[in-house]
């Protein structure tokens, strides 16, 4: 199952390293490239709950196989995008179907792990599952940097051999065929997909439409309103897509909130840090991948430490420590971005990574354990939907901040070099749109005084991009600071195998939902 899930985690970050090459060859804009990244995460967020429910209804093994096939076929098609025609539409569509395949695959794989491990070994198994799959995200930048030297299309084709191995292992494994004879909540699936899609669209397009645009707020408010309708609908339906009663457990709610704010920083970091390294530091894709390794050095060490804290003292201390360490790390890292020195930044990048490492596995494992009376497909659907929705929002909001800050800084730079105000503003907008592509592409090739001014200003513009990125990194620090305030509300305590019977009774009482083995088919949860 970890081999299968490896594809989904690698693809959350592998595209970020290849972003400049993709933009250059396909002539995409900065906002277009963000949608290539965001389409995958948005589909994950929109359909994770559906994937968890399908695993309950049809059995996890079938859904793992179906998700793997959808994912690998979409990967091949992403790598075959034509350079002419509508390459952006092609990429966004098949990145979205990739995300749909991942949304089927991940909750079903987790349900298999839960089913095959007895209670006394389940905690360690889940900690390993969440910790290792989270750490697999580190492979994305390294693999992306190496493959991009050959062709950026290989970052998608690499999923083919991994999928073949995963499908072969799934066929050999004796996966239990647990399933429920219940109807699928189709209206709920449509509502959550529409609500998330609209809200993220509003955040994503705010840089283009403007924050004072009716379209921007119409999408954001409309999407949140649809999600509100979804919640109200789910509370009244007999067989809901998501059992919202799990939120009656305060510890579970806090776990989900902390994960939300952590994911505002975790996945978006790969996109913004890798582009910063290639634009401001003039790094190659391989060097940008090594730059991100500083972050993962801290992440890997803290993940192991956080797991031990979870086993001994519960999730609350690990989450509090992670939020504080991460907030401090991102804030200090932001202050060093304008030094334009990769090696001077490594202590702060490692500190930021350690903060995230303390949070992810303990919070995810504790959320599953706290909701032990509910179906694991349902619980995973909730936690992973929140995580990926947060990542989508983070990419959209930070992208908007970066575009606005970049435009302002470049405008000031060009005006300081004598360019007229209107021409400076127009050129700054073009630079902000093109900046995630080849840095040389932002230099006009024509003649005349304006072109000469732009060519002479490119060194300063790289510094402007570093200053603009400071807003993004400070935003990540603020997100983890809010996460710390949420962690303070966690009731504490440790959920372990020795207290499993008490946890099951509490789960029945607080979530009002029984698991696959506890709730008879067709019986409505109170």
In a domain, 260, yes or no: yes
Crossing angle of helices 315-336 and 346-370, rounded to 10°: 150
Place of tokens 């695959």: 105
The distance from CA 479 to its chain's CA centroid, rounded to whole angstroms, is 14
Structure tokens at 325: 């360490």
Domain span at residue 52 reads 2-184+241-407+463-491+507-511
In a domain, 221, yes or no: no
pLDDT in tens, the chain (526 residues): 888 888 887 776 677 677 778 888 888 877 788 788 778 877 887 788 888 888 888 888 889 999 999 999 999 999 998 887 788 889 999 999 998 999 899 888 887 887 777 756 666 676 677 666 666 666 666 777 777 778 888 888 888 988 999 899 888 887 767 777 778 888 988 998 888 888 877 877 776 677 788 998 999 999 999 999 999 998 888 888 877 878 888 888 999 999 999 999 987 888 788 888 888 888 877 787 778 888 888 887 888 788 778 878 888 999 999 999 999 999 999 999 988 888 889 999 999 999 998 998 788 878 877 765 556 666 777 777 788 788 878 887 888 888 888 888 778 877 777 777 777 777 666 666 655 433 333 333 333 444 444 445 566 777 888 888 999 999 999 999 999 999 999 987 766 544 444 444 444 444 343 333 333 333 333 3
Rounded Cα distance, 471 and 410, in Å:
15
Cβ-proximal residues to 295 (8 Å cutoff; 6+ apart), any chain: 269, 273, 349, 350, 352, 353
In a domain, 190, yes or no: no
CATH label of the domain that carries residue 71: 1.20.1250.20
Count up the domains in the chain and report the number.
Answer: 1
Burial of 214 (C-beta count, 10 Å sphere; 0-12/13-18/19+): exposed
Q: How many helices (H) and strands (E) does the chain have?
A: 19, 0
Rounded Cα distance, 17 and 13, in Å:
8
Letter string b/e over residues 46-75, b meaning 16 or more CB atoms within 10 A of that residue's CB: bbbbbbbbbbbbbbbbbbbbbbbebbbbbb
Q: Is 74 helix (H, G, I), strand (E, B) or coil?
A: helix
Cβ-proximal residues to 168 (8 Å cutoff; 6+ apart), any chain: none
Rounded Cα distance, 112 and 478, in Å:
36
CB of 484 within 8 A of CB of 326? no
In a domain, 516, yes or no: no
In a domain, 217, yes or no: no
In a domain, 214, yes or no: no
Structure tokens at 11: 């693809």
In a domain, 177, yes or no: yes
CB of 176 within 8 A of CB of 46? no
In a domain, 67, yes or no: yes
């Amino acid at each position: 199952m970890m081999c299968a899930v490896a594809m989904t985690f690698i693809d959350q970050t592998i595209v970020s390293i290849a972003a400049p090459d993709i933009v250059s060859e396909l002539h995409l804009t900065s906002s277009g490239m963000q949608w290539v990244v965001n389409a995958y995460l948005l589909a994950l967020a929109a359909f994770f709950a559906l994937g968890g429910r399908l695993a309950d209804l049809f059995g996890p093994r079938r859904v793992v196989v179906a998700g793997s096939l959808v994912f690998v076929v979409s990967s091949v098609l992403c790598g075959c995008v034509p350079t002419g025609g509508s390459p952006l539409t092609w990429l966004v569509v098949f990145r979205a179907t990739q995300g749909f395949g991942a949304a089927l695959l991940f909750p079903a794989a987790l349900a298999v792990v839960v089913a095959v491990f007895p209670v006394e070994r389940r905690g360690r198994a889940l900690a390993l599952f969440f910790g290792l799959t989270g750490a697999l995200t580190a492979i994305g930048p390294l693999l992306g940097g190496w493959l991009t030297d050959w062709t950026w299309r290989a970052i998608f084709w690499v999923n083919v051999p991994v999928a073949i191995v995963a499908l072969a292992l799934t066929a050999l494994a004796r996966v239990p065929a647990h399933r429920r004879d219940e109807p699928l909540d189709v209206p709920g699936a449509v509502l959550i997909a529409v609500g998330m899609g609209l809200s993220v669209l509003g955040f994503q397009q705010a840089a283009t439409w403007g924050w004072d645009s009716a379209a921007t707020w119409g999408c954001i408010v409309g999407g949140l309103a649809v999600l509100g309708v979804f919640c109200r609908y789910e509370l009244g339906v007999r067989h809901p897509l998501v059992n919202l009663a799990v939120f009656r457990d305060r510890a579970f709610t806090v776990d989900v909130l902390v994960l939300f704010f952590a994911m505002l920083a975790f996945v978006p970091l790969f996109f913004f840090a890798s582009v910063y390294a290639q634009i401001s530091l003039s790094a190659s894709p391989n060097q940008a991948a090594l730059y991100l390794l500083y972050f993962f050095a801290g992440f890997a060490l803290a993940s192991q430490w956080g797991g031990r804290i979870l086993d001994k003292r519960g999730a609350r201390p690990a989450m509090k420590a992670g939020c504080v360490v991460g907030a401090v790390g991102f804030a200090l890292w932001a202050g060093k971005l304008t030094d334009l020195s990769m090696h001077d930044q490594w202590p702060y990048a490692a500190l930021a990574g350690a903060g995230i490492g303390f949070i992810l596995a303990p919070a995810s494992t504790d959320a599953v354990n706290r909701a032990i009376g509910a179906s694991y497909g349902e619980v995973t659907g909730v936690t992973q939907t929140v995580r990926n929705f947060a990542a989508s929002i983070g990419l959209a909001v930070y992208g908007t901040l970066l575009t606005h800050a970049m435009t302002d800084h470049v405008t000031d730079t060009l005006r300081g070099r004598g360019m007229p105000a209107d021409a400076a503003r127009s050129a700054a907008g073009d630079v902000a749109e093109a900046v995630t592509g080849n840095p040389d592409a932002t230099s006009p090739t024509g003649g005349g005084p304006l072109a000469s001014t732009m060519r002479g200003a490119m060194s300063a513009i790289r510094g402007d991009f570093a200053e603009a990125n400071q807003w993004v990194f400070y935003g990540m620090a603020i997100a983890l600071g809010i996460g710390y305030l949420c962690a303070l509300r966690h009731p504490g305590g440790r959920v372990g195998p020795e207290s499993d019977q008490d946890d099951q009774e509490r789960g029945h009482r607080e979530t009002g939902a029984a698991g696959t083995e506890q709730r008879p088919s067709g019986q409505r949860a109170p």
